[in-house]
């Protein structure tokens, strides 16, 4: 609690530092954005089998009746679109529940409950380490006993063939192989797409132990041992969000990207009359009905402001361009008001140049140029921009809007939906 208060005071102090005011306010209010995380995942351990014998009135030495232990739960991964925008909600460790032990009277233990890790579509999952690789080597399972076989009293007549211990080990291996799950690919690599949330396995739970009833045979009529449950798989995964959004809004700082995102979606990206208000991408989902009465939905991201020299690492530089690469389509947002630091044609040229220098393929994704702050600008400025865009590529549309006054939104949305639908068809 004291630590919490200190943090709060420190933030207040920072905010009052004159020139840094705007920067710190932005930092203080923005959530963490993570696009790459490493997680450790562990399946649950199987419950132990039970060694017990039936006891009833007039039956003092009944048959073995130890139940099996329950299998440990597994850990799965699935997509959940619209809930998570990035990977910041993930923890560093995930573990499924263990199965419970078997009991006498042939009562089997219950299965450990499995867990599912949810990620946004576009996440790439890679297994980078198998923590129980040594134990999994070879074709035999590492069997552990609740009570070691061979401790029981041996029959008076010497038996031929394998010892109790060897026989029990062979039986346990046979049982485990018959219950073993299908082999998973190694290493696991999944590309998590919007596939209706179908879970995929990360770590399987351990197989539950076998009760003593399984070890009853001609030679050993009273097996006083059972197996312990196996450990669950334990692996380390790297998760990376490759596709951030369907449409990315790119533009110079202060162009009005956040304002536009907030007015088109339910997102609440920080808006401020200063540069670099946005330091991390924010996402929102646009849902609309197309002219053909078909519901269309796409994810829109407000990508932090691009500045001259970003392709050489200036400003948010590579960080910014990495996010741009993850958008399927791009829309440039350009401030066409006379208040803008540079003219709209210069801004367009600068953005074009930076994207081209970083990766010329990015320009192929450009479908719309949004001429924002049209409420403050004259027709002449808009015409100048339209001519320049037309000369660069005829297929790019220029749409004048006012994000604050919500003017021109219908045309813009229709244009975005068309571009997105064409992309989906391809």
Ligand X SMILES: Nc1nc2c(ncn2[C@@H]2O[C@H](COP(=O)(O)OP(=O)(O)OP(=O)(O)O)[C@@H](O)[C@H]2O)c(=O)[nH]1
The residues that touch ligand X, with contacts defined as CB under 6 A, are 251, 253-259, 271-273, 275-278, 302, 304-305, 372-373, 375-376, 402-404
CA 362 – CA 320 distance, rounded (Å)? 13
- Min CB(189)–ligand X separation in Å: 35
- Min CB(336)–ligand X separation in Å: 9
Q: Structure tokens of 201?
A: 């396995």
Q: CB–CB of 306/292 below 8 Å? A: no
- Min CB(303)–ligand X separation in Å: 8
Cβ nearer to ligand X, comparing 151 with 268:
268
CA 393 – CA 372 distance, rounded (Å)? 20
> Which residues fall within 8 angstroms of residue 132, CB to CB, at 6 or more apart?
231, 233, 234
- Min CB(257)–ligand X separation in Å: 4
Alpha helices in 326-402 (DSSP H): 344-358, 361-364, 379-392
- Min CB(320)–ligand X separation in Å: 10
| C-beta atoms surrounding 47 within 10 Å | 28
Cβ nearer to ligand X, comparing 98 with 254:
254
- Min CB(296)–ligand X separation in Å: 24
Cβ nearer to ligand X, comparing 64 with 304:
304
Cβ nearer to ligand X, comparing 87 with 303:
303
- Min CB(327)–ligand X separation in Å: 15
Cβ nearer to ligand X, comparing 81 with 315:
315
Tell me whether strands 123-130 and 234-241 are parallel, antiparallel or unpaired: antiparallel
Cβ nearer to ligand X, comparing 81 with 272:
272
CA 337, distance to chain mean position in Å, is 40
CA distances (Å), origin 39, targets 63, 76, 129, 151: 47, 13, 11, 43
DSSP E strands: which ranges in 62-102? 75-79, 93-95
Cβ nearer to ligand X, comparing 37 with 401:
401
């Amino acid at each position: 609690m004291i630590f919490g208060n200190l943090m709060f005071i420190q933030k207040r102090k920072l905010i009052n530092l004159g020139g840094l005011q705007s920067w710190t306010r932005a930092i203080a209010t923005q959530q963490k954005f993570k696009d790459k995380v490493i997680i450790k995942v562990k399946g649950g351990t199987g419950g132990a089998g039970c060694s017990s014998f039936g006891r009833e009135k007039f039956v003092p030495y009944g048959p073995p009746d130890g139940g099996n232990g329950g299998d440990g739960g597994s850990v799965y991964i699935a997509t959940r679109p619209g809930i998570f925008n990035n990977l910041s909600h993930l923890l560093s460790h995930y573990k499924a529940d263990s199965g419970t032990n078997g009991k006498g009277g042939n009562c089997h233990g219950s299965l450990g409950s499995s867990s599912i890790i949810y990620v946004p579509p576009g996440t790439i999952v890679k297994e980078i380490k198998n923590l129980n690789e040594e134990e999994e080597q070879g074709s035999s399972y590492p069997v552990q006993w609740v009570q070691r076989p061979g401790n029981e009293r041996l029959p008076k007549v010497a038996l031929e063939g394998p010892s109790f211990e060897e026989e029990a080990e062979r039986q346990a291996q046979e049982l485990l192989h018959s219950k073993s799950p299908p082999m998973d690919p190694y290493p696991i690599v999944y590309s998590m797409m919007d596939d209706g949330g179908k879970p995929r396995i990360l770590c399987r739970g351990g197989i539950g132990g076998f009760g003593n009833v399984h070890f009853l045979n001609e030679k050993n009529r009273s097996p006083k041992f059972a197996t312990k449950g196996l450990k669950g798989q334990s692996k380390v995964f790297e998760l990376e969000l490759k596709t951030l959004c369907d449409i990315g809004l790119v533009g110079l700082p202060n162009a009005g990207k956040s304002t536009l995102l907030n007015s088109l979606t339910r997102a609440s990206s920080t808006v401020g009359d200063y540069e670099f208000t946005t330091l991390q991408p924010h996402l929102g989902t646009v849902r609309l009905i197309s002219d053909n009465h078909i519901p269309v939905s796409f994810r829109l991201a407000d990508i932090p402001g691009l500045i001259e020299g970003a392709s050489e690492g200036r400003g948010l530089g590579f960080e910014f361009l990495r996010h741009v690469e993850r958008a399927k389509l791009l829309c440039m947002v350009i401030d066409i008001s006379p208040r803008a630091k540079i003219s709209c044609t210069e801004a367009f040229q600068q953005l074009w140049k930076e994207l081209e220098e970083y990766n010329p393929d990015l320009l192929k994704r450009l479908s719309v140029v949004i001429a924002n702050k049209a409420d403050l600008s004259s027709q002449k400025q808009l015409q100048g921009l339209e001519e320049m865009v037309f000369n660069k590529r005829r297929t790019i549309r220029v749409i004048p809007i006012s994000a604050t006054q919500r003017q021109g939104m219908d045309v813009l949305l229709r244009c975005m939906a068309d571009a997105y639908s064409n992309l989906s068809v391809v």
